[in-house]
């Protein structure tokens, strides 16, 4: 039987098919249940009327009652605006509309009495109201005027069909009177009681129509809890099922491969953090369960080495390993690094990318199937259908958020007992987000840089300092250093941005002329081979300066490059700036990062640059990023349940998130398969849930 909350919204009294269509198109509401979850975005005090004479600041939203006494239309078409004079006996103000003039003119009649609600603006020494809510005095009378009236966001289209904030409130009242007895509880009695939560039905009524500030807070807490709890419950459940059902290959040997690498080839001492993580990995792969581990570590913290050691453990247990990188350049670099690390050891390593020749490719396939080839490094060419491993034991994925979840899943299908998976990311993720995005993975953190690294010194300069910057670059080059000059290129086909780069290249070439100076140039519109050869020239010190777009963002390792100049730095996001800066500071020399910006900075832009100058700690930067942008824009969130968060915030509700996770944990420890009768409401909710859980796992 269908639940009442699944009823199409057109059947709600006062809505009907045409207005239902508006709701669907404008705010994606199709059913009673959807509408119920359309929460107010603020609460307003409609119990009090102000007078025009009382207005003395533009701080608050206020309500006035008065008469419209005049109307004037200015301009035409898109630039048109309509201005009404509004008087209440104490004074006179103006009501202004720029949009939706058609319905405003139908609604507002000169001479009639109205109630308006809005925020006064100070304009030319007088207060006016732009786009206030407006109702005839009789209409306004029909509602109780509460101190905590819900206020819903709306659009001009919705307003023109009566879905003003108040109009929505009326529809909501009708809805709630019809459904309040049928709103199912979603939590078990135990969780409800132990977490001291308001019942869901009560919370959904009071979030729309609160009877006191205290109850409103309780209602909000309950709804946020649900949002966070069910993400955690689902993630942890996937994890338990996996641990329970999916067997992992047992790597019990530490043998010849790892030992001889460790004793003969390792050129330096591991950091304490690297040792700890290798230990964590060893425990995982020896446990008989499949490892799914996220390895977080700032740029330059030595993740590649840890990955290599994990791969050697696989080899010691007669398994193969592969490492997947997001770009060809990176795959190449990994291949070289790893071959160098392994030189002299009897390990077969190969590289497979989109540009691997067919003959070589066929040969690789044969060697992989026979097991002769032990470590395969490459791009997503690795997961093509023809690639069959003899016995794949470990998959390492570098910079994972560039890989789709589906691509990851295909790797799993490659052997009967799934390989262990190690996901490496250099984009630090704030804890709350990590808990939510990767809640089903175990997390290791390398929180220490190899010794002797000097933190990169960072400066913010404007165009007027250009010559100073160039002089500094010359000094550094004279000392044998190399330099990156980076331009933003967010959209590879954007001609303007490419023009910026070309103009920049011009300036740089004039100040750094051949033959004394050589310049590499790399951007997204070059062919792979051209890019490769430009990079190579830089890597081999044939060029001192590399002018590039953000294609160098990820993973390139040129320890002698110790200066990075980032042009138009205000146009980069924080995590991107941090990634870029990670390209320098990889050698023993003091490195420098120069952020060039225009004079015009938004407050967020300024905050980003200040943060970069202040700190090199990736986790701190990630926290600032989360605060500035909110989680919606952070990488990876699109494929998570986060889009389902309506009230809860990963910035403000960290405490509640921890509590929710703890309760999800307890629930599953007690009833791993959620079979107990008291947990059925949760199961039902998960099944009904609007989130597309498939995308998270
Ligand atoms: P990540 O991938 O985490 O950004 P890499 O693995 O590329 O970092 O390591 C950065 C550099 O540091 C490499 O040149 C690597 O050889 C070196 N490195 C790694 N571990 C250590 C260590 N324990 N001591 C000294 N140098 C190290
Ligand atoms: Mg790396």
Q: What is the mean pLDDT of residues 402-417?
A: 58
In terms of domains, do 409 and 483 share one?
no
162 in any annotated domain: no
Do 318 and 384 reside in the same domain of the chain?
yes
Question: Phi, psi (5° rounding) for residue 320?
Answer: -100, 165
Q: 205-224 pLDDT, tens per residue?
A: 999 999 999 999 999 999 99
Asked if residue 252 lies in contact with residue 261, where contact means CB atoms within 8 angstroms, the answer is no
In this structure, the answer to whether residues 408 and 462 fall within a common structural domain is no
Query: Do residues 650 and 507 share a domain?
Result: no
Q: Within this chain, do residues 399 and 473 fall inside the same structural domain, yes or no?
A: no
Domain count, the chain: 4
- Nearest alpha carbon, ligand 1 atom 5: 302
Measured in Å, residue 302 CA sits from the centre of ligand 1 at: 3
Ligand 1 within 6 A of CB of 101 = no
Among 300, 425, 559, say which to mutate for ligand 1: greatest number of ligand atoms within 8 Å of CB: 300
Do 603 and 477 lie in a common domain?
Answer: yes
Distance CA 191, CA 187 (A): 6
Q: At 567, which helix (H) or strand (E)?
A: none
In a domain, 208, yes or no: yes
Residue 131 maps to which CATH number? 2.40.50.140
Q: How far is the centre of ligand 2, averaged over its atoms, from the C-alpha of 538 (Å)?
A: 19
Residue 267 and residue 344 share a domain: yes
Residues 653, 592 share a domain: no
Coil vs helix vs strand at 439: coil
Residue 283's CB is within 10 A of a number of other CB atoms, namely: 10
What are the phi and psi torsion angles at 419 (to 5°)? Answer: -70, 160
Has residue 367 been placed in a domain?
yes
- pLDDT tens digits along 320-348: 999 998 878 788 889 999 999 999 999 99
At 609, which CATH number? 3.40.50.300
Q: Tell me the per-residue pLDDT of 563-608, one tens digit each, with 9 for 90 and over.
A: 999 999 998 888 889 888 988 987 778 999 999 999 989 989 999 9
Lowest-confidence segment of 172-186, 360-374, 379-393 by average pLDDT: 379-393
pLDDT digits (tens, 9 = 90+) for 228-261: 999 889 888 877 877 777 788 899 988 899 999 9
Please give the residue range of the domain that contains residue 218.
189-234+646-695
In a mutational test of the pocket of ligand 1, which residue from 301, 426, 450 has the highest number of ligand atoms less than 8 Å from its CB?
450
Looking at 3-17, 144-158, 270-284, 431-445, which range is the least confident one? 431-445
- Name the average pLDDT for the chain: 87
In a domain, 575, yes or no: yes
176-180, 426-430, 444-448, 538-542 — most confident range: 176-180
Q: Are 88 and 64 in contact (CB under 8 A)?
A: yes
Q: What is the pLDDT of residues 424-443, one digit of tens each?
A: 887 767 777 777 767 777 88
Q: Roughly how many angstroms between the first and final C-alpha of the chain, as a whole number?
A: 30
Q: Is the CB of 302 under 6 A from ligand 1?
A: yes
Q: Which of 401, 425, 449 is the last residue of a domain?
A: 425
Give the phi and the psi of residue 94 in degrees, each rounded to 5.
-120, 145
Place of tokens 């600032």: 624
Burial 346-376 (b: 16+ CB within 10 A, else e): ebebbbbbeebeeeebeebbebbeeeebbbb
E strand segments, 550-665 = 561-566, 592-597
* Ligand 1 and 148: CB distance under 6 A: no
Are 128 and 274 contained in the same domain? no
Whether 629 maps to a domain, the answer reads: no
- Taking the centre of ligand 1 as the mean of its atom positions, its distance from the CA of residue 616, in whole angstroms, is 17
| Judgement on whether residues 652 and 593 belong to the same structural domain of the protein | no
Atom of ligand 1 nearest to the CA of 307: 6
For residue 33 and ligand 1, the question of a CB distance below 6 A is answered with: no
- Our measurement of the distance from residue 324's CA atom to the centroid of its chain's CA atoms, rounded to an integer in Å, reads 22
Whether 225 and 677 have beta carbons less than 8 Å apart is answered as no
Question: Which 8-state DSSP code applies to residue 515?
Answer: T
Read off the pLDDT of residues 451-479 as tens digits, 9 standing for 90 and up.
878 889 999 999 999 999 999 999 999 99
* pLDDT band at 279; cut points 50, 70, 90: very high
* Distance from Cα 274 to the centre of ligand 1, integer Å: 10
If asked whether residues 595 and 490 sit together in one domain, one would say: yes
Q: Check whether residue 202 and residue 146 sit in a common domain.
A: no
Using the predicted structure, report yes or no on whether residue 640 has a pLDDT greater than 50.
no
Whether residue 430 has its Cβ less than 6 Å from ligand 1: no
Spacing, Cα 309 to ligand 1 middle (Å): 13
**Residue to substitute in 297, 304, 377 for testing ligand 1 pocket (most ligand atoms within 8 angstroms of CB):** 304
Q: What is the pTM of this model?
A: 0.68
For residue 268, report the distance from its CA to the centre of ligand 1, in Å.
10
Alpha carbon of 274 to ligand 2 centroid (Å): 14
Q: If you take atom 17 of ligand 1, which residue's CA is the nearest one? A: 302
């Amino acid at each position: 039987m269908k639940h009442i909350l699944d009823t199409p919204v057109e059947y709600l009294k006062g809505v009907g098919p045409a207005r239902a269509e508006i709701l669907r198109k404008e705010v994606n509401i199709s059913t009673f249940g959807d509408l119920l979850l359309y929460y107010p975005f603020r609460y307003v005090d409609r119990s009090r009327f102000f007078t025009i004479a009382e207005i003395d600041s533009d701080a608050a939203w206020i309500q006035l009652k008065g008469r419209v006494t005049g109307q004037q239309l200015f301009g035409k078409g898109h630039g048109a605006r309509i201005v009404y004079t509004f008087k209440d006996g104490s004074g006179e103000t103006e009501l202004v509309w720029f949009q939706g003039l058609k319905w405003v003119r139908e609604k507002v009649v000169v001479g009639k009495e109205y109630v308006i609600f809005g925020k006064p603006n100070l304009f030319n020494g007088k207060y006016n109201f732009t786009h206030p809510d407006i109702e005839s005095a009789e209409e306004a009378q029909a509602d109780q005027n509460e101190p905590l009236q819900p206020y819903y966001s709306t659009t001009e289209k919705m307003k023109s069909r009566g879905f003003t904030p108040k109009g929505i409130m009326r529809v909501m009242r009708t809805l709630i009177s019809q459904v309040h007895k049928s709103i199912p509880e979603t939590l078990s009695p135990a969780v409800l009681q132990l977490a001291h939560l308001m019942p869901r039905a009560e919370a959904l009524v009071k979030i729309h129509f609160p009877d006191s500030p205290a109850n409103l807070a309780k209602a909000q807490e309950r709804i946020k809890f649900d949002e966070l709890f069910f993400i955690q419950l689902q993630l942890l459940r996937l994890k338990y099922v996996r641990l329970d059902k999916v067997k992992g290959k047992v790597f019990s040997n530490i043998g010849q491969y790892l030992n001889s690498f460790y004793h003969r080839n390792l050129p330096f001492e591991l950091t304490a953090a690297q040792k700890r993580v290798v230990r964590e990995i060893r425990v995982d792969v020896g446990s008989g369960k499949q490892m799914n581990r996220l390895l977080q570590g700032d740029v330059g913290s030595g993740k590649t080495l840890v990955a290599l050691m994990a791969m050697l453990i696989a080899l010691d247990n007669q398994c193969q390993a592969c490492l997947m990188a997001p770009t060809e350049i990176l795959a190449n670099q990994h291949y070289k690094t790893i071959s160098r690390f392994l030189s002299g050891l009897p390990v077969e390593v190969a590289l497979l990318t989109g540009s691997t020749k067919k003959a070589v490719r066929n040969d690789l396939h044969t060697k992989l199937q026979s097991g002769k080839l032990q470590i395969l490094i490459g791009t997503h060419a690795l997961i093509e259908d023809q690639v069959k491993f003899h016995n794949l034991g470990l998959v390492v994925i570098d910079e994972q958020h560039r890989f789709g979840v589906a691509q990851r899943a295909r790797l799993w299908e490659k052997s009967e007992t799934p390989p262990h998976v190690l996901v490496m990311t250099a984009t630090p993720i704030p804890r709350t987000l990590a808990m939510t995005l990767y809640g089903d993975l175990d997390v290791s953190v390398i929180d220490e840089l190899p010794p002797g690294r000097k933190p990169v010194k960072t400066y913010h300069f404007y165009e007027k300092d250009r010559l100073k910057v160039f002089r500094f670059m010359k000094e550094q080059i004279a000392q044998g250093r190399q330099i990156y000059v980076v331009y933003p290129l967010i959209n590879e086909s954007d001609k303007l941005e490419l023009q910026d780069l070309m103009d920049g290249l011009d300036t740089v070439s004039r100040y750094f002329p051949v033959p004394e100076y050589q310049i590499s140039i790399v951007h997204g519109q070059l062919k792979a081979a051209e890019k490769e050869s430009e990079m190579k020239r830089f890597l081999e010190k044939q060029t001192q300066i590399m002018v590039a777009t953000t294609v160098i963002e990820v993973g390139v390792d040129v320890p002698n490059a110790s200066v990075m100049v980032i042009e138009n730095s205000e146009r980069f996001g924080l995590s991107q700036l941090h990634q870029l800066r990670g390209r320098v500071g990889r050698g023993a020399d003091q490195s420098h990062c120069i952020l060039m910006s225009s004079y015009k900075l938004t407050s967020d832009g300024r905050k980003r640059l200040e943060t970069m100058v202040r700190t090199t700690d990736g986790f701190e930067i990630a926290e600032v990023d989360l605060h500035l942008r909110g989680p919606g824009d952070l990488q990876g969130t699109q494929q998570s349940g986060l889009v389902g968060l309506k009230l809860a915030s990963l910035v403000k509700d960290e405490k509640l998130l921890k509590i929710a996770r703890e309760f999800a944990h307890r629930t599953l420890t007690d009833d791993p398969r959620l079979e107990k009768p008291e947990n059925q409401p949760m199961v039902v909710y998960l099944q009904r849930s609007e989130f597309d859980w498939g995308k998270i796992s």
